């Protein structure tokens, strides 16, 4: 592990010049800059992040806090964020909160504060005002992905609109008995996603005069399995069977498709199904969905953060950037055929 002075010696300059040459801050003649670079690479020199961090107060490391890890969506966001951070020369330190309340406290009260990270990206976490203040007080920019967060730059998708779009797609195909399999309001760790999606669904129905039928709403736990069982209930109803289902996520939509198959219903002939996400398996199942682009979300979060890291363009207060979404029509939805059983 060579240090900066060995590089300085080999290049025949002072450590100050090495530092300047390597970091790009301050003026160094092209010639010496080159000599320094050569010396550094010959020795395999890499700056010590502790030393550099101590001297500058910047660590080139970003903390990413997520509520779960084992969900396709989060993996994709992290992947996008990581890629972009690496390209900016930043590391990504991960804090997964799926453990429970105590873990969350210790992350916010200790881990994030020990000057290991320059900034924080919070994914689908409704930070408490206290948590936000804590971070902002020590001058750490925070970017939230997934919902409005007071005092913080955020990126979020308009869940109500996304749901409305999905539901409208079904309506436009002539469906009127449209069920919604949504998340349980119980575990709304995230930004009322279940509630918002339900609202969009109801708004779309009401807009065209279809009364909202509470028996066509089935809450479950946001998993394929949960949706499978919920769908069976819905589809088993002899009187009021829906002709279409809007599921709050693709995994749930896939559960619905599997349930329909098991009940001998053909998708889309007997039942149209639409989800949200554009999950990696959506194409395989021919699932119509409203795509959100989690990798892009991760990348965008990083770009915004990089902006914030340059104090000159640090926007204060809450600013929300809307996230893109897009209807992707595949084979799981079709025009409602009134003659179908």
Residue 38 per-residue DSSP state: H
- Minimum CB separation of residue 299 from a copy of itself in Å reads 12
Pick 88 or 261: Cβ nearer DNA: 88
Pick 20 or 164: Cβ nearer DNA: 20
Tell me how far apart the alpha carbons of residues 196 and 185 are, in angstroms, rounded to a whole number.
10
Nearest one of 294, 249, 239, 240 to 273, comparing CA atoms: 249
Per CB under 8 A, 91 contacts a copy of itself: yes
Q: Of the candidates 9, 15, 61, 318, which one interacts with DNA according to CB under 7 A?
A: 15
The item of a copy of itself, DNA, none sharing an interface with residue 331, based on CB under 5 to 8 Å by kind, is none
Nearest one of 133, 130, 123 to 96, comparing CA atoms: 123
- Minimum CB separation of residue 170 from DNA in Å reads 56
Q: Nearest 5°: CA angle at 199, between 196 and 205? A: 150
Tell me how far apart the alpha carbons of residues 137 and 129 are, in angstroms, rounded to a whole number.
12
Q: List binders of DNA among 34-53 (CB under 7 A).
A: 45, 47-48, 51-52
Spatial contact of 208 and 274, defined as CB atoms under 8 Å apart: no
Q: Which residue stretch of 13-21, 108-116, 164-172, 265-273 sits at the interface with a copy of itself (rule: CB under 8 A)?
A: 108-116
Q: Of the candidates 26, 99, 129, 148, which one interacts with DNA according to CB under 7 A?
A: 26
Per CB under 8 A, 296 contacts a copy of itself: no
Per CB under 8 A, 24 contacts a copy of itself: no
Q: What is the DSSP string of 105-125?
A: HHHHHTGGGSS--SEEEEES-
Pick 206 or 262: Cβ nearer a copy of itself: 262
For helices 250-262 and 224-236, give the axis angle rounded to 10 degrees.
50
Q: Nearest 5°: CA angle at 21, between 14 and 40? A: 80
H/E stretch holding 144 reads: strand 142-145
Spatial contact of 105 and 63, defined as CB atoms under 8 Å apart: no
- Minimum CB separation of residue 176 from a copy of itself in Å reads 30
Pick 23 or 237: Cβ nearer DNA: 23
Binding site for a copy of itself (CB under 8 A): 1, 44, 46-51, 53-54, 59, 61, 69-70, 72, 75-76, 78-79, 82-83, 86, 91-96, 98-99, 103, 106-107, 109-111, 113-116, 138, 224-225, 228, 261, 280-281, 284
């Amino acid at each position: 592990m060579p240090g900066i002075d060995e590089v300085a010696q080999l290049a025949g300059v002072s450590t100050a010049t090495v530092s300047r040459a390597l970091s790009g801050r301050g003026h160094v003649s092209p010639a010496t800059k080159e000599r320094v670079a050569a010396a550094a690479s010959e020795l395999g020199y890499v700056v010590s992040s502790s030393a550099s961090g101590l001297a500058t107060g910047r660590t080139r490391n970003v903390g990413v806090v997520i509520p779960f890890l084992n969900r396709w969506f989060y993996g994709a966001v992290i992947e996008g964020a990581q890629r972009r951070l690496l390209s900016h020369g930043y590391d990504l330190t991960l804090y997964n909160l799926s453990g429970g309340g105590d873990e969350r406290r210790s992350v916010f009260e200790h881990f994030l504060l020990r000057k290991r990270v320059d900034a924080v990206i919070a994914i689908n976490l409704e930070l408490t005002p206290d948590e936000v203040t804590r971070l902002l007080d020590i001058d750490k920019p925070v970017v939230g992905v997934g919902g409005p967060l007071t005092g913080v730059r955020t990126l979020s998708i308009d869940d109500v609109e996304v749901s409305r779009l999905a539901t409208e797609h079904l309506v436009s195909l002539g469906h009127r008995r449209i069920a919604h399999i949504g998340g349980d309001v119980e575990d709304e760790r995230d930004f009322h996603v279940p509630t918002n999606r339900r609202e969009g669904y109801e708004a779309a129905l009401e807009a065209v005069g279809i009364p909202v039928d509470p028996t066509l709403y089935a809450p479950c736990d946001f998993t394929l399995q949960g949706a499978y069982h919920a769908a069976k209930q819905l589809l088993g109803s002899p009187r009021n069977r829906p002709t279409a289902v809007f599921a709050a996520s693709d995994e749930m939509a896939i559960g619905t498709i599997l349930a329909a198959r098991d009940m001998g219903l053909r998708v889309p002939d007997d039942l149209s199904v639409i989800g949200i996400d554009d999950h990696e398996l959506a194409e395989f199942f021919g699932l119509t969905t409203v795509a959100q682009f989690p990798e892009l979300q991760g990348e965008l979060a990083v770009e915004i953060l990089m902006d914030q890291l340059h104090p000159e363009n640090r926007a204060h207060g809450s600013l929300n950037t809307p996230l893109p979404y897009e209807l992707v029509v595949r084979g799981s939805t079709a025009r409602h055929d009134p003659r179908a059983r």
